[in-house]
Chains A and B, each alone.
Chain A
Amino acid sequence: MDALMNFGQGIFGGVWPAVWILIKIVLIVAPLMLGVAYLTLVERKVIGYMQVRIGPNRVGPWGLIQPIADGLKLLFKEIIIPGRSSKGIFIIAPMLAIAPALAAWAVVPFSDTLVLANIDASLLYIMAITSIGVYGIILSGWASNSKYAFLGAMRSAAQMVSYEIAMGFSLICVLMISNSLNLVEIVNVQKQGNFASMGLNFLSWNWLPLLPMFIVYLISGTAELNRAPFDVAEGESEIVAGFHIEYSGMAFALFFLAEYANMILVAALTSIMFLGGWLSPVGFLPDGIIWLLAKISFILLLFLWFRATFPRYRYDQLMRLGWKVFIPICLVWLVVVGVWMMSPFTLWK
């Protein structure tokens, strides 16, 4: 490592720190994009098997080159800009969708030391950055100058704003017991506990004491991502394909990349905040990034499983779930956690 640092210093001189950060960004974004590409394949395969089909199997062995082929096809397609659309915004909207999805990864820790920017308020940063993602959807719907796109954008904006509240409340519980907004700190707090000293680490992670919040977060996360069963924003049977109906080629692909990058992000955040991040589930195995990846894959599998299992929510049911079910649960559990922390039975010292 030192040799690499010296080598870089020698070549780039004063700008080496900036170059080094760029290298780290590439090291995060490149595997992420690869993950996104193969997540689409996994999704089609998994849902295929759940529906007793085989899924893509023509391009490469077991369809392994399918995502590359899809990407190439989308790259070479023409981007059609509708005649009476608002052109500038129409082009900016997909960028606004993908930029927050990537920017949020700046503070996601992969292990104790493996984090691009270990800032104090990383949880707040993630909440702020992900809340910008909704603009990509609203603006694409408005700029397309199409009824279906606009309706999809309206639905999705209302949905994302509603579920952000439940999501925020469940995160408040996490930060209360962690006494920190820093994601590394949040994981480190989950190391200690009565069960952890017995070697059963997975029982002292946040998911058990915060079980209702864990469930609320997971479901709100699914809703926030506009994934099935909450995908009213692109309800094919009602509004064709929702906000991205007028998009084609790479502009369309950007929305897709943003959606899947956000999926991985929510999975990573769930693993970090509720499932102990890179901590190993049992005492006798070492901690490491491999556990984080395993947890992320598990949550992603859950998302795919939801999609293959549940029928789409009706719009009013979705709003009812967000406002009348989740927010009261969150408020009650917030008080429960507060009282618990002050009581002699507290788990968090």
Chain B
Amino acid sequence: MDIQTFVFFFLSAILVFASLRVITARNPVHAALHLILAFFTCGGIWALLQAEFLAIAIILVYVGAVMVLFLFVVMMLDINMDRIREGFWSYLPLGAILGLLMVMEMGLVLGSKYFQVPAAEAMVPAGVSNTKSIGALMFTDFVYPFELASLVLLVGMIAAIVLTHRGSKKSKYTNPNQQVFVKAKDRIRVLQMPVEKD
């Protein structure tokens, strides 16, 4: 077994374990942490495939930003696990069908390459920058889907703000401009007092 195969199986084992723990961990924070571990190892596997841009992007975006906010929310929520588990059996059939569908899809994708390390097939010739090729493709051949995706993201962002915005609250607000332009003589009055003598 060469070193690449070993690294692949090592990372895959961690990935599978972490993904399992995401759905089995009782503590939601532990589940979120295992999800982070899963993303990180996924980045490792992509790096093994020589998809360095994707590998770094998943760590930068998912591990570095999305999961931080996710963890943030999970930590502050008071999650009652018993109440979440209540509907388990009634949701099971639907969940099982979805799960089976996903397994089938993944099986089709992996297909004949089962248990082969794909890195050997996806060899990138030396001197080709992954990031540059992706960038060039994104802004030439796939510019419309790319712009469309960014528009969808923008709509999602605005929708999230609209959903959570509950109208302006009456809060004590200080105007930073006024704060910056404050002069000492606006705030302090120096009094001249005659010396008091008895």
A143 → chain B closest CB, angstroms: 9
Supposing A128-B64, A135-B68 touch, asked if A121 and B59 sit within 8 A by C-beta, the answer is no
Closest Cβ neighbor of A134 among chain B residues: B68
CA distance A78 to B56 in the complex (A): 38
Question: Which A residues are in CB contact (< 8 Å) with B46?
Answer: none
Closest Cβ neighbor of B179 among chain A residues: A317
Judge whether A157 and B68 touch: CB under 8 Å: yes
Question: Which A residues are in CB contact (< 8 Å) with B76?
Answer: 154
Question: Which B residues are in CB contact (< 8 Å) with A161?
Answer: 65, 68-69
Question: Which A residues are in CB contact (< 8 Å) with B57?
Answer: 124, 128
A304 → chain B closest CB, angstroms: 26
In which size bucket is the chain B interface? Answer: 20 to 34
Supposing A121-B130, A135-B68, A317-B176 touch, asked if A142 and B63 sit within 8 A by C-beta, the answer is no
Closest Cβ neighbor of A18 among chain B residues: B3
Query: Chain B 57-86 against A: per-residue CB contact (8 Å), 1 yes, 0 no?
Result: 101100111001101100110000000000
Judge whether A142 and B29 touch: CB under 8 Å: yes
Interface: B129 (CB within 8 A)? yes
B125 → chain A closest CB, angstroms: 13
Interface: A9 (CB within 8 A)? no
CA distance A181 to B57 in the complex (A): 13
CA distance A158 to B53 in the complex (A): 26
CA distance A180 to B71 in the complex (A): 33
CA distance A287 to B183 in the complex (A): 49
Closest Cβ neighbor of A325 among chain B residues: B176
Contact among A120, A138, A142 for B131, CB-based, below 8 A:
A120
Query: Chain A 77-120 against B: per-residue CB contact (8 Å), 1 yes, 0 no?
Result: 00000000010010000000000000000000000000000011
Judge whether B72 and A138 touch: CB under 8 Å: yes
Judge whether A124 and B60 touch: CB under 8 Å: yes
Question: Which B residues are in CB contact (< 8 Å) with A131?
Answer: 59-60, 63-65
Question: Which B residues are in CB contact (< 8 Å) with A139?
Answer: 33
CA distance A128 to B52 in the complex (A): 12
CA distance A157 to B129 in the complex (A): 33
Interface: B49 (CB within 8 A)? no
Supposing A120-B129, A121-B52 touch, asked if A132 and B65 sit within 8 A by C-beta, the answer is no
CA distance A160 to B129 in the complex (A): 30
Question: Which B residues are in CB contact (< 8 Å) with A331?
Answer: none
Interface: A333 (CB within 8 A)? no
A269 → chain B closest CB, angstroms: 15
Interface: A164 (CB within 8 A)? yes
Question: Which B residues are in CB contact (< 8 Å) with A89?
Answer: 29, 33
Judge whether A124 and B131 touch: CB under 8 Å: yes
CA distance A323 to B57 in the complex (A): 23
Closest Cβ neighbor of B52 among chain A residues: A121
Interface: A125 (CB within 8 A)? yes
CA distance A135 to B29 in the complex (A): 12
Supposing A127-B60, A128-B59 touch, asked if A121 and B72 sit within 8 A by C-beta, the answer is no
Query: Chain B 158-185 against A: per-residue CB contact (8 Å), 1 yes, 0 no?
Result: 0000000000000000001000000000
Question: Which A residues are in CB contact (< 8 Å) with B71?
Answer: 135, 138
Instruction: Knowing that A120-B130, A131-B59, A157-B68 touch, tell me 10 more A-B residue pairs with CB under 8 angstroms.
Output: A120-B52, A120-B131, A124-B60, A127-B60, A128-B56, A134-B64, A138-B71, A138-B75, A139-B33, A158-B72
Q: Can you give 24 A-B contacts (C-beta < 8 A)? A: A86-B29, A120-B130, A120-B131, A121-B131, A124-B53, A124-B56, A124-B57, A127-B56, A127-B64, A128-B63, A128-B64, A131-B60, A131-B64, A131-B65, A132-B40, A134-B64, A135-B36, A135-B71, A138-B75, A157-B68, A157-B72, A161-B65, A161-B68, A317-B176
